[in-house]
């Protein structure tokens, strides 16, 4: 099986070649992940605290299958339809499998932001 070609590190000023999927050389890979984790904050600071874990368990027991149209997979997580982790009303929550959740968030990443002229 052929190996992936080497690419330059994404860290500004580095330029070392690597084959890591993250885009960073071995030296900067851990540093880049740490910076991301620090900027993101803790799960609790983002609204996923003990009360959320209880609510998530209730939702998963009530709807153990993915609620996406046409999906027959077992749900692995609970998604906020309006993307607001503090809006925990039952009509805003949706049990989802990981592939469906990734698909929805991938669509959001590539959606244009701001006013469209």
* Residue 61 vs residues 74, 75, 96: alpha-carbon distances, Å: 11, 10, 13
The rounded distance, in Å, linking the Cα atoms of 31 and 72 is 39
Q: Give per-residue pLDDT as tens, 20-76.
A: 877 888 888 877 766 667 777 778 887 788 999 999 999 999 999 999 999 999 999
Token couple for 80: 């906020």
Strands (E), 1-117: 7-8, 17-18, 77-80, 93-96
Biggest alpha carbon–alpha carbon distance for the chain = 52
Full DSSP string of 84-116: -TT---GGGEEEE-HHHHHHHHHHHHTS--S--
Rg (CA), the chain: 19
Is the pLDDT higher at 15 or at 90? 90
Give the rounded percent of residues in the chain with a pLDDT score beyond 70: 84
Please tell me the pTM assigned to this model: 0.60
């Amino acid at each position: 099986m052929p190996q992936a070609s080497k690419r330059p590190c994404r860290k500004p000023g580095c330029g070392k070649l690597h084959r890591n999927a993250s885009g960073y050389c071995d030296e900067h890979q851990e540093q880049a992940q740490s910076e991301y984790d620090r900027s993101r904050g803790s799960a609790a600071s983002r609204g996923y605290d003990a009360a959320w874990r209880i609510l998530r368990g209730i939702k998963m027991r009530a709807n153990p299958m993915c609620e996406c149209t046409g999906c027959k997979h077992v749900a692995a997580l609970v998604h906020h339809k309006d993307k607001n982790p503090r809006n925990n009303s039952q009509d805003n929550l949706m049990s989802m499998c990981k592939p469906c959740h990734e698909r929805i968030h991938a669509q959001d990443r590539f959606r244009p932001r701001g006013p469209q002229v």
